[in-house]
Amino acid sequence: MALNKELINDIITVTSKAAISCYEFIGKNKKKEADKAATDSMRNEINKLSINGEVVIGEGELDKAPMLYIGEKLGSGGNLKLDIAVDPVEGTNFVAKNLPGALSVISIAEKGNLFSAPETYMDKIAVSNKVPFEATDLDFSVEKNIKNLADSLNKNLTDVTACLLDRPRHKKIVEQLKKMNVKIKLISDGDVCGALMVTDDKYGVDIFLGIGGGPEGVLAASAIDAYKCKFQGRFIFDNDTDIERAKLMGIENLNKKYDLKEIIKGDSIFCATGITSGDLVDGINVKDSKYITQTLVTHKSSNTCKIVTREDTIKT
């Protein structure tokens, strides 16, 4: 059974209500409380759906409940078997400090079609669909990727914008980008959002690169797929615990470079609802006793890539 367009509204409801559940914690320095509220809401809403779902990208293992853990079964039952990837709050620090860019995110695909990623780091690269597939690669140097990108887009190096997380681990990449006089957009958090900024010229980002979360990489890839953009990722396993967990999840080649089609197969639905306003969508607004939310939604098979505005009445 394919993912139908009616299911889109159900998934928008899931992320919208999860985002709304965080509203009271915005700017209150209570990131754990915000994350728990969004998680509880997301679990409750998904369990209302007539699906047989399993979390393949979550926030931990069973012993870390009440987080949505990898392997958790969700839904009220039915013939539709789904893989589910969740990040109830991407950017808990943004919520806690009332900073731009906090999102509530989910992706769903038919069973077996969404890569089950361990909670480890991933080296990743994403570019728009205007760039030929062979132009960029994780195995290329930063210089080669940027020069190939510039040539493909018919841009001067000084007009290319690279986005990456502002982390000490990216010091060498930043130095190389500066040496090439490339524009740099550093983001403090928001790995999924960063990758998604290659999907449209309006965001002004030509390439997203660097090391971030593996689960966030899978979530981003599921959205980028609908835009026909390129994404590559390679997990980083630098300790025995991560290696053991990877093997238990069926990952045999620890150095494998994954292309988008290996991370997300077939049809998918992705939703990201704004909690605080950012580059992708507006945050929660309150007007006339209603919560107004914006959700970026993609549905691959129907070529849906749009922003949906929704209103929910505030319960008194």
Give the residue extent of every domain in the chain.
6-114+267-313, 121-260
Length of the chain: 316
Mean pLDDT of 226-248: 89
Task: For 153, list phi and psi in degrees, rounded to 5.
Answer: -95, 0
Does the fold of domain 121-260 match that of domain 6-114+267-313?
A: no
Q: How far apart are CA 57 and CA 65, in angstroms?
A: 14
Round the average pLDDT of the chain to a whole number and report it: 93
- Residue 46 pLDDT > 50, yes or no? yes
Q: How far apart are CA 188 and CA 313, in angstroms?
A: 33
For residue 38, give the nearest of 10, 18, 68, 16 by alpha carbon: 18
- Fold (CATH) for 6-114+267-313: Fructose-1,6-Bisphosphatase; Chain A, domain 1 (3.30.540)
- Fold (CATH) for 121-260: D-Maltodextrin-Binding Protein; domain 2 (3.40.190)
Give the amino acid at 89: V
Q: How far apart are CA 276 and CA 284, in angstroms?
A: 6
Question: Is 229 in contact with 201 (CB distance < 8 Å)?
Answer: no
- Residue 235 pLDDT > 80, yes or no? yes
* pLDDT tens digits, one per residue of 98-153: 999 999 999 999 999 998 877 889 999 999 999 999 999 999 999 999 999 999 99
Mean pLDDT of 247-254: 84
Give the amino acid at 117: A
* pLDDT tens digits, one per residue of 177-204: 999 999 999 999 888 999 999 999 999 9
Question: What confidence score (pLDDT) does residue 63 get?
Answer: 44
* pLDDT tens digits, one per residue of 265-306: 999 999 999 999 999 999 999 999 999 999 999 999 999 999
Strand partners, 271: 106, 297
Q: What is the pTM of this model?
A: 0.94
Question: Is 221 in contact with 264 (CB distance < 8 Å)?
Answer: yes
| Backbone CA torsion sign across 17, 19, 20, 21 | positive
Q: How far apart are CA 260 and CA 220, in angstroms?
A: 10
Q: How far apart are CA 228 and CA 209, in angstroms?
A: 18
